[in-house]
């Protein structure tokens, strides 16, 4: 890098002045004259035959513009997916509905209140059918979710790329280890429960079809604006360039806004039919039963090791819940878990997850997406093993790490090349920051007083910032869906004739501070004040096509593209400046809004350089006019951040209440562009992991009814539930992008749930408790204590 | 039905259906879209506004129930182009990410500090318990409110954590 000053600088966020004054524009804030409003009629049954849909009463209500059923929309085909394995969702369904919340009919009315009243007036007759919710029952195919098809959609087996012979040999090796005299085998079935993402902004979409121009403006709370533009185009026989998607402010996404949804297509359909703008904003209950959910695994983890802490093999076998229909990435989520199935360890790992359907809402990417689940099983079982052999859990981990000496060139036991890593240094830093031996001594002293204090530790490696395209080419068809599908970053940097600059980029952020970060990268590269730089994202008309913002990819991939486009603009500007200053290009440097000849006071401002760029007659011979550049960054690999988290808890044995006393995070995401933003991402990620560990649970009854569909029974952590977090970092730069950055959006979540569970189990060790399934709510902890005492 | 109230210091009135929620009156009739709807069932706090000095949830209240009241929304906090210290605190201490919870969170923090301008961390956390944030883990929201408290007491706020790093 020619300049590293962009890294580590703190700039107050440029998005904030609007947001703190209530001037941020989210989708539901958009107002267009004559807008009609949508309400959906949804199935109250998990599995039922729809015998009739009577829309007449609703259609006759004053202010109702239309009522649509599957008969009106079936010709459009099912909902598209980027990984279309398994049955795809019908846009509307008046055949056999497959989960509570499935859309049966759509009402459009002049007023949102009227739309809801009319939806209530649609009369649907259902004949309930038996539902399957339990994963083991689903695996047995006893009750098929889709008639005539197996419930198992795919089985992911690792190491990646191993053929049957190699897998057999691996399993035999682990079996042989189990027979050793000094073998210690620890095995546990654990549930990684389903979660509801719950961004505080409900999803919202508004479609404005302009018949005279044959084009769409779509406003949507989405993480993938380009994909939505492509999809809308496909449904209505239009090109991507006839559809503009604007994702303005997006109030949190966490993966659940990384789908094209049937409601988005249906709202567009209604706008075309009715010739007016049409808007729909989901209710909180709809967010629970018709926006994707995450996690939902049951699996058995087994560690085979020696009495002195050498792990000889790890096995994970389980079932992952896909829900009723596959949406954007559904079956690919457990595959992301496979990537990190062996964590940061070097031991042989066998990994198998069966992906099964159930009569529940679809699962897909929720913060971490497969990786928190994989890390949970691994870090829980390694901890149980450490406890069994009576060894310090930090020591066991250190003993089994991939060594820093193995980089560059390390390949994980799951078969994936990793960029950079130094796990032991990170672990040591965490132990030091936390005061590990003091913590253990304090815990022991508390125990001696009869208190249940526990210290939990876990480490993780994450994989994110996906690329290259080939690495994740699973052989599925992408182009057919008109979605930008390559795992590249794309960015356009333009300097205007007055010396201000605009960067347009295909990312679709939802709180990550891109307005600030991209301006920092461009400002640093050009020596321009960030105030002179405008960032355009989330707008398919103005930004280059991109796969969007998810998988902790924006800085490492799109940020790198932004960096490279900036470099191209700077190189051209240097030629112009050298010409104007009669100096040599190599002697030009950029700072404080100007180009300067090194070691002299001869300089020319960006305004002058830019003005010249747009007056070709003033340019050096052969140089094209204009001052802008586009770059596509195609990363050579994904990035592999890592870290160590430590939690201290106290359990009240009378109530089962868990008090989280301290939480320490030592993360390594390579170079850091903004420490403020990076720490903020980690804080939020940790809170979501703690949420899973202690509070959150998407519970379906045996009949497939969602029992936690509101925020009364789906419990999110509040400020009063959490401590302040103690964060620090190690820095091991990535070698696959010019910024040396890795991703940080999901790391906090990937590191935290098991850290908390490890701490609670540690607290209850004197009682002989070895495992409690999440969420560790008081009643469940109390029950575990009673069972242990019995 | 006719309803009139003071919103951000201005007397306003409107003709609403009796069932119109206060939040919809503010957002749709008055165009004040800073007040957000996160759950419409009184659990998230995104719709918090100040009514006669107290933080209330505008999603669980009818517009007609606010007849004659004095309402302040997030749009009404800054005065003469000067941010309220709580707004400044959120900006200075990275108390927001997506910003969706922020208006309600800021209103709750303002009423909290009006009652007690020197709350402990515990008191701050209890004071904003009714406002959910999914992005920040609340860490920097607490720092932002501490910053604002210091400003309101006329003290110098503690340096940002990243300034020590
Ligand atoms: S919208 Fe009012 S509390 Fe959630
Ligand atoms: S900043 Fe996104 S919900 Fe609080």
Residues A601 and A742 in one domain: no
Residues A457 and A383 in one domain: yes
Question: Which whole-number Å values give the CA distances from A387 to A316, A390, A640, in the listed order?
Answer: 19, 5, 28
Q: Is the pLDDT of residue A759 over 50?
A: yes
Compute, in angstroms, the gap from residue B136 CA to the centroid of ligand 2. 6
- Cβ of B39 and A284 within 8 Å? yes
Compute, in angstroms, the gap from residue A33 CA to the centroid of ligand 1. 26
d(CA A179, CA A185): 10
pLDDT band at residue A459 using 50, 70 and 90 as cut-offs: very high
Q: B146 at the A interface (CB within 8 A)? A: no
* Beta-strand runs (E) in chain B: 2-7, 10-15, 48-51, 54-57, 70-72
**Considering the domain boundaries, does residue A62 fall inside one?**
yes
Q: Which of A633, A658, A692 delimits the end of a domain?
A: A633
User: Half-sphere exposure (CA, 13 Å, Cβ side) for A587?
Assistant: 14
Q: Is the CB of B103 under 6 A from ligand 1?
A: no
**Omega within 30 of 0 (cis) for the link into A346:** no
Residues A212 and A107 in one domain: yes
Q: Can you give the pLDDT at residue A476?
A: 45
Query: Is the Cβ–Cβ distance between A558 and A232 less than 8 Å?
Result: no
The minimal CB distance from A249 to the residues B73, B87, B99 is found for B99
Q: Which of A584, A607, A633 delimits the end of a domain?
A: A633
Residues A530 and A668 in one domain: no
Which of B137, B144, B157, B161 best tests the A interface by mutation, with the highest count of A CBs <10 A?
Answer: B137
d(CA A153, CA A86): 6
Q: Which two three-digit tokens encode residue B130?
A: 């009714």
Residues A444 and A551 in one domain: no
Residues A279 and A323 in one domain: no
d(CA B13, CA B29): 10
* DSSP result, A398-414: HHHBPPGGG-SS-B-TT
Query: Is the Cβ–Cβ distance between A301 and A309 less than 8 Å?
Result: no
What is the Cα A165 distance to its own chain's centre?
35
pLDDT band at residue A463 using 50, 70 and 90 as cut-offs: very high
What is the ipTM metric for this complex? Answer: 0.98
Among candidate residues A507, A487, A488, A500, the one with its CA nearest the CA of residue A628: A500
Name the maximum alpha-carbon separation found in chain A.
91
Residues A458 and A549 in one domain: no
Q: Is the CB of B120 under 6 A from ligand 1?
A: no
**Considering the domain boundaries, does residue A141 fall inside one?**
no
Q: Which positions in chain A touch B90 (Cβ < 8 Å)?
A: 16, 20
The minimal CB distance from B96 to the residues A19, A25, A284 is found for A19
**Considering the domain boundaries, does residue A155 fall inside one?**
no
Per-residue pLDDT tens for A398-450?
999 999 999 999 999 999 999 999 999 999 999 999 999 999 999 999 999 99
Q: Which two three-digit tokens encode residue A603?
A: 């300089």
Residues A699 and A680 in one domain: yes
Size of interface A-B (CB pairs under 8 A): 181
**Considering the domain boundaries, does residue A284 fall inside one?**
yes
Q: B73 at the A interface (CB within 8 A)? A: yes
Q: B81 at the A interface (CB within 8 A)? A: no
What is the Cα A24 distance to its own chain's centre?
23
- CA of A675, closest CA in chain B: separation in Å? 7
d(CA A781, CA A771): 10
Expressed as residue numbers, the domain containing A725 is: 297-467+637-789
Q: Is the pLDDT of residue A4 over 50?
A: no
Q: Which two three-digit tokens encode residue A343?
A: 């964590």
Q: Which two three-digit tokens encode residue A685?
A: 């990620």
Residues A453 and A345 in one domain: yes
Q: Is the CB of B45 under 6 A from ligand 1?
A: yes
Residues A627 and A546 in one domain: yes
Residues A347 and A462 in one domain: yes
Q: Which ligand is nearest to the CA of A197?
A: 2
Residues A449 and A422 in one domain: yes
Question: Sign of the C-alpha dihedral, residues A109, A112, A116, A121?
Answer: negative
* Beta-strand runs (E) in A634-769: 642-651, 658-668, 725-729
Number of domains within chain A: 3
The minimal CB distance from B125 to the residues A12, A679, A719 is found for A719
Q: Please name each of the domains of chain B with its CATH number.
A: 2-74 (3.10.20.30), 85-156 (1.10.150.120)
* Beta-strand runs (E) in A370-451: none
pLDDT band at residue A480 using 50, 70 and 90 as cut-offs: low
- Cβ of B100 and A688 within 8 Å? no
Q: Which ligand is nearest to the CA of A710?
A: 1
- The SS3 call for residue A307 is coil
Name which residue sits closest to atom 4 of ligand 2, judged by CA: B133
- CA of B100, closest CA in chain A: separation in Å? 5
User: Half-sphere exposure (CA, 13 Å, Cβ side) for A269?
Assistant: 26
What is the Cα A597 distance to its own chain's centre?
45
Q: Which of A582, A601, A633 delimits the end of a domain?
A: A633
d(CA B55, CA B71): 10
- CA of A720, closest CA in chain B: separation in Å? 5
Per-residue pLDDT tens for A558-616?
999 999 999 999 999 999 999 999 999 999 999 999 999 999 999 999 999 999 999 99
Domain CATH code at residue A93: 3.90.1170.50
The minimal CB distance from A22 to the residues B34, B43, B44 is found for B34
pTM: 0.96
Query: Is the Cβ–Cβ distance between A365 and A199 less than 8 Å?
Result: no
**Considering the domain boundaries, does residue A189 fall inside one?**
no
- CA of B85, closest CA in chain A: separation in Å? 11
Count other C-beta atoms under 10 Å from residue A361's C-beta: 29
Per-residue pLDDT tens for A242-257?
999 999 999 999 999 9
Domain CATH code at residue A443: 3.30.365.10
What is the Cα A38 distance to its own chain's centre?
28
Q: Is the CB of B16 under 6 A from ligand 1?
A: no
**Considering the domain boundaries, does residue A78 fall inside one?**
yes
pLDDT tens track of chain B, all 165 residues?
999 999 999 999 999 999 999 999 999 999 999 999 999 899 999 999 999 999 999 999 999 999 999 999 999 999 999 999 999 999 999 999 999 999 999 999 999 999 999 999 999 999 999 999 999 999 999 999 999 999 999 999 999 998 765
For residue A555, what is the DSSP state? I
């Amino acid at each position: 890098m020619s300049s590293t000053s962009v890294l580590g600088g703190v700039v107050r966020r440029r998005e904030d002045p609007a947001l703190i004054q209530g001037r941020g524009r989210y989708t539901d804030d958009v107002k267009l004259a004559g807008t009609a409003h949508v309400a959906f009629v949804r199935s109250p049954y998990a599995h039922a035959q729809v015998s009739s849909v009577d829309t007449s009463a609703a259609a006759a209500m004053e202010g109702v513009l239309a009522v649509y059923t599957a008969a009106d929309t079936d010709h459009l085909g099912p909902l598209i997916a980027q990984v279309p394995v398994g049955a795809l969702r019908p846009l509307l369904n008046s055949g056999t509905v497959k989960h509570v919340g499935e859309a049966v009919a759509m009402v459009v009315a002049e007023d949102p209140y009227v739309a809801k009243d009319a939806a209530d007036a649609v009369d649907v007759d259902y004949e309930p059918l038996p539902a399957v919710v339990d994963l083991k029952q689903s695996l047995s195919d006893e009750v098929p979710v889709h008639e005539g098809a197996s419930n198992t959609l795919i089985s992911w087996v690792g190491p990646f790329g191993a053929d049957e012979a190699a897998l057999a040999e691996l399993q035999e090796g682990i079996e042989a280890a189990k027979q050793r005299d000094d073998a210690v085998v620890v095995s546990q079935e654990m549930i990684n429960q389903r979660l509801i993402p719950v961004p505080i902004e409900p999803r919202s979409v508004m479609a404005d079809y302009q018949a005279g121009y044959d084009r769409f403006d779509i406003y949507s709370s989405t993480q993938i604006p380009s994909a939505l533009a492509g999809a809308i185009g496909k449904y209505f026989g239009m090109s991507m360039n006839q559809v503009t998607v604007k994702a303005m402010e997006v109030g949190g996404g966490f993966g659940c806004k990384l789908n094209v949804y049937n409601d988005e297509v249906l709202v567009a359909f209604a706008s075309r039919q009715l010739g007016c703008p049409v808007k729909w904003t989901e209710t909180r209950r709809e967010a629970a039963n018709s926006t994707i959910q995450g996690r939902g695994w049951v699996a058995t983890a087994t560690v085979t090791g020696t009495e002195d802490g050498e792990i000889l093999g790890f096995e994970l076998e389980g079932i992952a819940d896909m829900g009723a229909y596959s949406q954007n990435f559904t079956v690919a989520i457990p595959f992301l878990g496979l990537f990190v199935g062996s964590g940061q360890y070097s031991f042989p790992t066998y990994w198998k997850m069966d992906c099964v359907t159930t009569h529940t809402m679809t699962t897909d990417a929720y913060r971490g997406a497969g990786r928190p689940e994989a890390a949970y099983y691994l870090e829980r079982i390694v901890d149980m093993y450490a406890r069994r052999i009576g060894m310090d859990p930090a020591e066991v981990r250190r003993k089994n790490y991939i060594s820093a000496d193995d980089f560059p060139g390390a390949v994980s036991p799951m078969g994936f090349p990793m960029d950079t890593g130094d796990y032991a240094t990170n672990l040591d830093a965490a132990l030091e920051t936390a005061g590990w031996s003091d913590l253990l001594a304090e815990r022991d002293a508390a125990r001696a007083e009869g208190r249940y204090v526990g210290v939990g530790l876990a480490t993780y490696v994450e994989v994110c910032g996906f690329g290259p395209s080939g690495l994740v080419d699973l052989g599925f068809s992408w182009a057919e869906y008109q979605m930008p599908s390559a795992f590249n970053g794309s960015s356009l940097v333009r300097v205007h004739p007055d010396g201000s600059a605009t960067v347009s980029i295909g990312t679709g952020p939802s709180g990550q501070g891109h307005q600030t970060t991209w301006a920092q990268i461009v400002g640093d590269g050009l020596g321009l004040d960030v105030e002179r730089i405008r960032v355009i994202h989330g707008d398919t008309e103005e930004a280059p096509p991109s796969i969007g913002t998810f998988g902790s990819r924006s800085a490492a991939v799109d940020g790198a593209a932004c960096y490279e486009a900036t470099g191209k603009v700077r190189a051209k500007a240097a030629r112009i400046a050298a010409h104007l200053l009669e100096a040599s290009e190599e002697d030009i440097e950029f700072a404080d809004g100007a180009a300067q000849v090194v070691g002299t006071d001869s300089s020319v401002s960006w305004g002058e350089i830019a003005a010249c760029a747009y007056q070709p007659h003033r340019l050096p011979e052969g140089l094209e006019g204009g001052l802008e550049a586009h770059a596509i960054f195609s990363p050579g690999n994904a990035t592999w951040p890592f870290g160590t988290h430590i939690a201290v808890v106290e359990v009240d044995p009378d109530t089962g209440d868990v008090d989280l006393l301290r939480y320490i995070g030592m993360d390594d995401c390579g170079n850091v562009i903004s420490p403020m933003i990076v720490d903020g991402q980690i804080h939020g990620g940790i809170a979501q992991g703690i949420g899973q560990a202690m509070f959150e649970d998407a519970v379906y009854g045996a009949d497939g009814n969602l029992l936690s569909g509101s925020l009364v029974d789906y419990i999110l952590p509040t400020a009063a539930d959490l401590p302040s977090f103690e964060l620090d970092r190690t820095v091991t730069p990535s070698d696959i992008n010019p910024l040396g950055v890795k991703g940080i959006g999901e790391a906090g979540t990937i590191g935290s749930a098991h850290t908390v569970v490890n701490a609670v189990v540690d607290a209850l060790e004197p009682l002989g408790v070895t495992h409690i399934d999440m969420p560790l709510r008081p009643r469940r902890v109390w029950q575990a204590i009673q069972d242990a005492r019995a | 039905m006719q309803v009139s109230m003071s919103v951000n210091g201005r007397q306003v009135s409107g003709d609403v259906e009796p069932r119109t929620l206060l939040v919809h009156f503010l957002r749709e009739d008055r165009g004040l879209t800073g007040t957000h709807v996160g759950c419409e069932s009184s659990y998230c706090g995104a719709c918090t506004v100040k009514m006669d000095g107290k933080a209330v949830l505008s999603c669980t209240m009818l517009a007609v129930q606010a007849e004659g009241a004095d309402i302040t929304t997030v749009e009404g906090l800054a005065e003469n182009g000067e941010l309220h210290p709580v707004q400044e605190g959120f900006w200075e201490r990275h108390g927001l990410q997506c910003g969706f919870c922020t208006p309600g969170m800021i209103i709750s923090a303002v009423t909290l500090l009006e009652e007690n301008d020197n709350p402990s961390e515990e008191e701050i956390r209890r004071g904003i318990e009714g406002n959910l944030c999914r992005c920040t883990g609340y860490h920097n929201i607490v720092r932002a409110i501490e910053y604002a408290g210091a400003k309101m007491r006329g003290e110098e706020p503690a340096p940002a954590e990243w300034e020590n790093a």
